[in-house]
Structure 1
Amino acid sequence: MAVSGIVKGITGLAIAVLMSASSLAAEEGVIRLVPAQSSIVSATLTAPQLGRHGLETVSILSSRRLCPGQTDQLCFPAALQNLYASHDFMPLWRDPALVEELLLQVTALAETHKVPGLLQRVQELQQLSQRDDQRGLDLLATDTLMAYQSVINQMINDPSTLYRPASFTLQDQQLTVTPRITVPLTLTALQQLRPAGNHFDRLVAEMRRLEQAQPHGVYLSGRPAIKFGAEIPNGDKLARMLNTYGDLSDQDFANVMKTDQVTGGSAAPQFMNTGVLHQAIRQFQHRHGLKDDGVIGPETAQNMARSYEQVAQLLALNLQRNRVLQRHGAGEVLQVNIPEFMLRIIDDENVVFESKVIVGRSSRPTYLFSSAINHMVVNPTWNVPETIKEEDVIPSMRRSPDYLARHNMRMVSRWSDDQSIDPAQIDWSTVSASNFPYEFQQRPGPDNALGQVKFMMPNDFSIYLHDTPAKRLFNKSKRNFSSGCVRVEKAHDLAYYLLERQRAGQSATYDNLLRKRNPATINLRKTLAVDFIYRTAWLDEQGKLQVRDDIYGYDDDSTVPQEHDYIAMMNYR
C-alpha cells in the first residue's frame, strides 16, 4: 500500500501526522499501524522533518511584523521541529477547547495594539480553523503559543513597557530563547497564562462587544456647557451611546427615541437634558470618575468622544497590566489606584476597607511600586523633601521671610538636630535653591502637612501614606494635588485597622498617643502589603465599565510622561 493510502486509512491518526512528505516517503514500508491513542515511531536513520501541511497554500503574513527578523513563515521553525519530533509529529491541538482558549487570550493581548501583527495572526488562525485539514492550524497555533509566551516574558522582565510608548516584537534575542511548552497541552495549563484577576472572560466579552459596535458619532465640545433642561445636539446618537454602555436602559432608550417623547413635532426632534437622559448622563459621569452633575462640559464631552475601539483598547491594556502586579500571596493587600484616587484593602478578592486619596500631580507623579507598611508614626514631624524645598519653600522665603513661622516650620543643619537655625541670618535674595545647605522641618500639630499619622514602608522614593489637614480637597472628583506621597481621607480609620489586625485593643494606645501630641513610632509586627497601581479601565464587581483619566500619560502613546523613572515597578516587600 502506498504511504498516502496508509495515511488516509488510519482513522483519526495518520491523517494528522505533521511529518513532511519527503520524510514520510523515506519511511515508506516501516510505518506500522498502532492504536489511535498511540503514536507513529520513526525507524529511519534520517531525522524526519516537520511538514507544512495545511500551510502550503496559505500566506502567513503576520510573521513579517510579529517576528521581523525571521525569514521563515513561522516565528519558531527550529523549536517547532524539535517539539513535534519529540512527540512523533502528532497534533497538539485536537481538543477544540484548547484552540478556543488560545484565541481568547491572544485576542485579548492583540487588542492592546502593542504587538504588531498579532491581530492578523488571530485572523489567520480563525481562517485555518474552518478548514477540513487541521494540520496547518495545529502548526500555527503552536507557533502562536510560543510567540504569546515570549511577549509575556518581555512584559514581566520589563513591566514599564506597559506604561510607555513601546511595542513587543520578536527580535533575534527572543527568537533564540524557546518558550517552554508542556505536552500534552491541557486547558488548565493554558488558563494559567491568563492575566491575573477573576473577570477575564467578562472583560474579553466586553472588549469584543465594543469592537463590534457601530461608531457612536458623539462629538460634543461642551462649550457652552449643556446644562439641565438644555437641548442636546445629535441627542439621538448620545442616547444610543448611553444605551450601549448600559447607562440608559433598553426601555428608557426606547421611550426616549419615540417622537412623542421629544419636543419638535414631526420636524427634527429635539433631545433635552432632562428626565432619564439626564440621569443617564450622570451615570456616565459617575463611571468615569467625573463630577456627576449631569452637565455636559468640556471634560464630560471629551470622555464621551472616546470611541468604542479606544475603550476596548484601554480595557485590553489594563488587563495585561495585571500580569505585572507583584504577587503578594494569600492575605490582604492594600492597593492605591492612582488614576481612580482610591485606596482599597482587598482580602481574598473582597474589599474590606476603602478610602479616597490624593495622589501626586502630573509634574510630581506618585511612583508605581510595591512594598509593605511596617510602621506608623503618630504626630509626625514633616521632613521637607528636596523637590519641595527647592521649588516651594525657598521661593516662599524669598517672598515672605515669616513663611517658616506661619507654617510652624524650622530650619536645621540635619533633620535629627535639636538646634534650629535662625532664618533671619540668611540673605534669601542670594540663596541658590539647588545647593542650599540646610533642611526644613515642620513640627507636629494640627496644621502639619502630614496630619496626625503617617504610614511608612520601605522604598527609595520617600513615598508613604499620610493624614492631611486639608480635608476639603477630598470633595473634588480629580485629586492629583500632592508632591508624590498619598494623602488618605480615612487615615485614622486606616490606623485603627492596622492596629487591630496586630492585636485586639491596640486602638486605645493610638488614641492616647494622639492626645499627647508628641511624635511616636508604632512598629507593626504584622505588615500589610501595598501596591501602587495605575488602572484606567476595568469592570467593577457589578460588571459595570469604569474608566478614569490618564493623568500621567501612561496610556496614550502620543502623550509621553515627563519621566519614565516614576514607572519603577520595584518590589520592596
Structure 2
Amino acid sequence: MQLRSVLKKTFIYGMSMALLAPSFSHAADSVAGTEQAIQLSRYLYNADFDTARAPIKPSWGNFQIVPEHLRPLYVKVQYQPFWVTSDGRPNELAASLRTLLLGAARHGLNPGMYWDATMENGYNSNNRASWVTFEMLASEALIRYATHLTTGRFDPNLIDDDIMFKRKKLNIDRLLSAIQSGAGNFINSIEQMAPTHPRYRDLMYMTAQLYDQKAAGGWETITSPGVQLKLGVKNPVIVKLRKRLNQMGYYVSDAGGQLFDQEFDAALRQFQAMNGLTADGVIGVKSEVLRALNVSIDQRIQDVALNMEKLRWLPENLNYNRNIFVNLATSEFRMTDQGQLKFYFKTINGQSFRRTPTMKDSLSSIVINPNWTVPESIAYKDKLPKLRADSRYLDKHNMVLMNKSLSQVIDASSINWRSVDEAEMNRYWIVQNPGYDNALGVVKFQLSNGDAIYMHDTNERNLFTESERHLSSGCVRLEKPLEVASYILQDIGISYEDLVSMVPSRVDDVRRTKETKRGFTPWEVYFMYLTAERGDNGQMRFINDGYGQDSRMARTLQNSVEEQGLTPKANERMGVIQVLGKAGEYQVFKKVKAVRCDTTTRGSCDAAVSFDLNVQTQLPEGNYLLSFENSMYPGFVQVRANAPVVVQLQTVATIQPVKASNGKYASSTYIVYRDFTSQIEQQKLLWEMFYMKRHMNRLEKDNYGALYLADAWSQDFVQRFNFDACSKLNTFAEPSSQAKEICSTWNNARSPNDLYPLFFDAKTGNLKEMWVTAPGDVLSFEHPRHLISAPIKGAGTVQAFEGAYKTLQTSK
C-alpha cells in the first residue's frame, strides 16, 4: 500500500482521534504560535501530565514513533517543523537529510535502517496534509542515524563480557545545531559528529575502496594451484595473486608475470606479516594465504564496518596527541606524544579463553622490580597441577606460599597438593619474588582497573618472535618495557641508564628492591580489539578473529525481520481462534502473534502469524504458542476444526492519574514487566526455548531502556542468544568445560524443565541467560526487564495473557 493513500486517513485522522482528545493547553512546553507548531505539539506533548505522549505505531507500517525521543529536540524550537515548508512540502533540508541517510554505508551503516521505502514514499507524497507524519519520521530517522554514528548501534558491554566501554549518549544540542546550520551545511555538520580518530578515518577510506572494487567486479576467487609456491617458482596463479595484492594495497608490478620473483616475495611477506600470518614467503597447497585472500569482498566490507563500530565506543574527548594504544587483535603497541608516534612494537596479549579486556584506562604509577601475586584462577588452573607434580615447584621458581592476608609464609612442602581442591587452593596466595625471571619481568605499568589487568615486562621474551601472540593470561606484555618506562619516567628525572641500573639482567640477576614510581603526568591507555586496519602505506590489514569478538558483534548487529505467514498444507483442516481484549494506550503493537509447533519434535515450529484482537482468525489445526505485547499465553493453545477457541486477555495493571496539591496531574512514569522469579513466567520462557529453540519475539532495549517488542528500525537484542555453537563445539580448538556442560544440557534436554539451569539462577530465580560462543567459551548476561507495554506516563491500563507481572514507578 502506498504511503500517500493511507497517511491522511489512517495516520493523521486516526491519531487525532486517539491522541488529541486530552487538553490542548500548553502550560509547560512553550509552543510557537504557528498552526504547524501547534499541530506538531499535539502529537508529541501531553499537557495534562506535562510529558511526552504515548508511542505511535500506524497499522500500515512496522515502525513506531516515540514522542519521548522527539520532544527534547522540538521543545528547543517551540515545536516548529524542520523538514517541511509552510505548505507541508519537504524542504531543502529534507533533501539534504535524504542524501545524508542514503549515504550511510560510507560509515559502515545500513541506509535501509534510516531511509527506506516508507521514508521515500513520504518524501514523494503529494498529500500535503500528511506533512506531520513525514516530519516526525524524518526526525526519528535522523536521531537514530546520529545515535548510531556517534555512540554505536548497541551498548558495547552487552556484546561481550570483556568489553568495558559504556555506551555514550547522543548530544542533542549538537544535533540541533547541525539542523539549524542550514541545508548547505547540514551534511557536513552531521559528518563532524562522527568519530575523529585517525583509525576511523582510515576505515572510512578502506570502505570506499572496497565498494569501488565491488562495483568494478569484485574479487576473483583464487584457486590453489596444487603445488607449493615460493621464490623462483613459475605458475599462472601468481598473476592473479599479484592483482589481489595490488587491490589490497601491497603494491607489486605486473612485469614479473607468472614468476615468483624477489619483488613478489617481498610483497607476500609484507602481506603475511601485516595480516597475522607466518611471514615465510611460502604459499602452501592448503595455504592460510589463499584463505585470507579469498575472503569475499562483502565479508571484508562487513569486517571494516564492525571495526568502525568499535571505534565509536571511544570517548569524544580522547587525547589523540598523547596516549597509549594497544591493538589486541594485531598484538601491537603504539605510544603517541605531542602528536608524534614515539613507540611502535609488538605485544603479547590474553589467550582466547583469558581475553584481555577491551577498555579505556589510565597509567599513573610504574613498579620497578615487581613481585607477582598469582591470581586465584591461574593458581588453580596452572600452578596447582605443577605443584601436584613437584612439591618444590615454588622454590625452583622464586615463589613463596602465603596466607590470604599476605602476613605469613607457609611451608609448601607441608601440604598434600593432590588432595587440594579449588576451595582450599583459594585459601592461599602464591607470590613470586622480584627477579629477572619474574613472570612480570622487571617493570610493571600499573593501571587503575580493579581486575588486575596491566602492562608489564615478561620472563618469556622469546615469544615476541611468534606471529600469533595471544599467549598471556589477560595482561599485556611489552616488547620494549624499559624504553617505554624510561620515556615516561623522564618526567621525574629518571633516564634509561638510571632505570637499567635499578633492575636485574640475565647476567646480573641479583635480587633487587621493589619500587613504585609516581609523580609523572598520567597517560590515557586504550586496549582495543581491531581486526581491520589501514597500514601506513595504505595496505588493508585483516586479522583472524581469535577472540570471537567480531562474530559476536555480527550476530548482535544482524537485524533480520522475522518471517511472517503460515501457509496451510494440502488438505489441512482449519480452525478458528479469537483473542478478546483491549490494548492499553501504551501497548504499541496491539497484535496477537501465534506460532504453531510440533510438540513431538524440538525446534519444529512454523513461521509466525499475527492477527488483531477481537477478530475471528482462521488457522491450520495444531498446537500454538501465543504472544501479545511480549506477554505469553501459559501453555499451548489447541486449534481444531469445528471447535472455535476464545482466549481472554486480563487487565494486569491500571495506573490512575494522581493530582498534585496545585491541582495538576503528576507526570509519574511506570513500567509493567514479566516477573521471572515466578514459576509461570519461567515456564513460558522454557517452553519457547525448548520448542522454538529461540526467543519467540524480536526484542529491543534502545527505545525504553528495557526489553520490548522491536520494530523494523530497532536493533534486535535477543535473537543472538542461541545455541547454534553447540552443533559445532567439536570444531573449536579448546572448548571450555562449562561450554561442554551447557551444550550437553541443551542437546540432551527431553523436556522444557531440563533447560532451567541455562536460563535461571538456582538461588534467586532471576533470568540470567548463558550461551556458548566461538571460540568455545560461555557468555552470561542478566537480562533487562521484559516489558509488556511501553513506559506509562501519568495514567493507563495494560492487558496481557494470564501470568505474573510487576508494576514499578520509575520517576515522579
What TM-score does the superposition give when structure 1 sets the normalisation length?
0.72
User: How do 1:7-156 and structure 2 match up within 5 A?
Assistant: 42=34, 47=39, 71=59, 73=61, 75=63, 77=65, 86-87=80-81, 89-90=84-85, 91=90, 93-94=92-93, 99-105=98-104, 107-110=106-109, 118-119=111-112, 142-151=139-148, 155=152
User: How do 1:381-530 and structure 2 match up within 5 A?
Assistant: 381-414=371-404, 416-417=406-407, 419-436=408-425, 437-500=427-490, 502-505=491-494, 507=496, 510-514=499-503, 517-530=512-525
Aligned 8 A contact 1:513 1:520 in 2? no
Aligned equivalents of 1:92, 1:320: Cα separation in 2: 32
Where structure 1 has 5 or more consecutive residues not aligned to the other structure, the ranges are 1-18, 24-39, 51-66, 112-117, 165-173, 262-270, 567-573
Aligned to 1:168: none
User: How do 1:124-203 and structure 2 match up within 5 A?
Assistant: 142-151=139-148, 155=152, 158-160=155-157, 181-182=176-177, 183-185=179-181, 186-198=186-198, 199=201, 201-203=204-206
Aligned to 2:599: none
RMSD: 4.3
Cα distance, 1:564–1:48 mapped onto 2, change above 3 Å: closer
Aligned equivalents of 1:148, 1:120: Cα separation in 2: 8
Instruction: Look up the equivalent residue of 2:272 and give its one-letter code.
Output: Q
Cα distance, 1:532–1:235 mapped onto 2, change above 3 Å: same
Aligned to 2:327: 337
Cα distance, 1:296–1:565 mapped onto 2, change above 3 Å: farther
Residues 360-392 of structure 1 show CA distances to partners (whole Å, capped at 9, x for unaligned) of 111111111211111111111111111110011
- Please point out which of 543, 548, 560 is paired with 2:774: 560
Residues 148-191 of structure 1 show CA distances to partners (whole Å, capped at 9, x for unaligned) of 13445873872235669xxxxxxxxx9xx999645425345312
Aligned to 2:572: none
Aligned to 1:242: 245
Once the two structures are TM-superposed, the CA of residue 203 in structure 1 deviates from its matched residue by 3.8
Cα distance, 1:102–1:281 mapped onto 2, change above 3 Å: same
Aligned to 2:302: 313
Larger relative contact order (C-alpha < 8 A, sep ≥ 6)? 1
How many percent of aligned residue pairs carry the same amino acid? 26
Instruction: Look up the equivalent residue of 1:394 and give its one-letter code.
Output: L
In structure 2, the residue corresponding to 1:144 is in which secondary structure? helix
Cα distance, 1:490–1:129 mapped onto 2, change above 3 Å: farther
Aligned to 1:29: none
Judging by fraction of residues, say which structure has more strand: 2
Cα distance, 1:150–1:468 mapped onto 2, change above 3 Å: closer
Aligned to 1:291: 278
Answer with 445-454 or 196-205: which moved more. 196-205
Cα distance, 1:406–1:75 mapped onto 2, change above 3 Å: same
Aligned to 1:218: 221
Residues 299-338 of structure 1 show CA distances to partners (whole Å, capped at 9, x for unaligned) of 2232122111111111111112111023454451111110
Aligned 8 A contact 1:146 1:179 in 2? no
In structure 1, the residue corresponding to 2:409 is in which secondary structure? coil
Residues 83-111 of structure 1 show CA distances to partners (whole Å, capped at 9, x for unaligned) of 59613842454486665444434552435
- Please point out which of 268, 288, 293 is paired with 1:304: 293
Cα distance, 1:372–1:96 mapped onto 2, change above 3 Å: same
Aligned to 2:26: none
Cα distance, 1:197–1:323 mapped onto 2, change above 3 Å: same
Aligned 8 A contact 2:119 2:134 in 1? no
Once the two structures are TM-superposed, the CA of residue 138 in structure 1 deviates from its matched residue by 7.9
Aligned 8 A contact 1:337 1:533 in 2? yes
Residues 34-53 of structure 1 show CA distances to partners (whole Å, capped at 9, x for unaligned) of xxxxxx98569983899xxx
Instruction: Look up the equivalent residue of 2:364 and give its one-letter code.
Output: N
Aligned equivalents of 1:291, 1:191: Cα separation in 2: 39
Instruction: Look up the equivalent residue of 1:86 and give its one-letter code.
Output: Q
Where structure 2 has 5 or more consecutive residues not aligned to the other structure, the ranges are 1-6, 13-31, 43-54, 162-168, 505-510, 556-724, 726-772, 782-812
Instruction: Look up the equivalent residue of 2:477 and give its one-letter code.
Output: R
- Please point out which of 329, 332, 355 is paired with 2:345: 355
Answer with 135-144 or 485-494: which moved more. 135-144
Judging by fraction of residues, say which structure has more helix: 1
User: Residue 366 in 1 paired to residue 356 in 2?
Assistant: yes
Cα distance, 1:503–1:377 mapped onto 2, change above 3 Å: closer
Cα distance, 1:106–1:126 mapped onto 2, change above 3 Å: farther
Instruction: Look up the equivalent residue of 1:521 and give its one-letter code.
Output: T
Aligned 8 A contact 2:101 2:114 in 1? no
Aligned equivalents of 2:410, 2:336: Cα separation in 1: 46
Aligned to 1:543: 538
Instruction: Look up the equivalent residue of 2:282 and give its one-letter code.
Output: V
Aligned 8 A contact 2:350 2:473 in 1? yes
Aligned to 1:5: none
In structure 1, the residue corresponding to 2:180 is in which secondary structure? coil
Aligned equivalents of 1:108, 1:336: Cα separation in 2: 23
Instruction: Look up the equivalent residue of 2:243 and give its one-letter code.
Output: R
Cα distance, 1:125–1:236 mapped onto 2, change above 3 Å: farther
Aligned equivalents of 1:499, 1:332: Cα separation in 2: 15
Aligned equivalents of 1:565, 1:489: Cα separation in 2: 34
Aligned equivalents of 2:291, 2:393: Cα separation in 1: 40
Aligned equivalents of 1:134, 1:508: Cα separation in 2: 79
In structure 1, the residue corresponding to 2:550 is in which secondary structure? coil
Once the two structures are TM-superposed, the CA of residue 441 in structure 1 deviates from its matched residue by 0.9
In structure 2, the residue corresponding to 1:146 is in which secondary structure? helix
Aligned equivalents of 1:92, 1:130: Cα separation in 2: 10
Aligned 8 A contact 2:322 2:523 in 1? yes
Residues 393-416 of structure 1 show CA distances to partners (whole Å, capped at 9, x for unaligned) of 110011122211211111111363
Aligned 8 A contact 1:203 1:315 in 2? yes
Answer with 79-88 or 303-312: which moved more. 79-88
Aligned equivalents of 1:319, 1:309: Cα separation in 2: 15
Once the two structures are TM-superposed, the CA of residue 435 in structure 1 deviates from its matched residue by 2.7
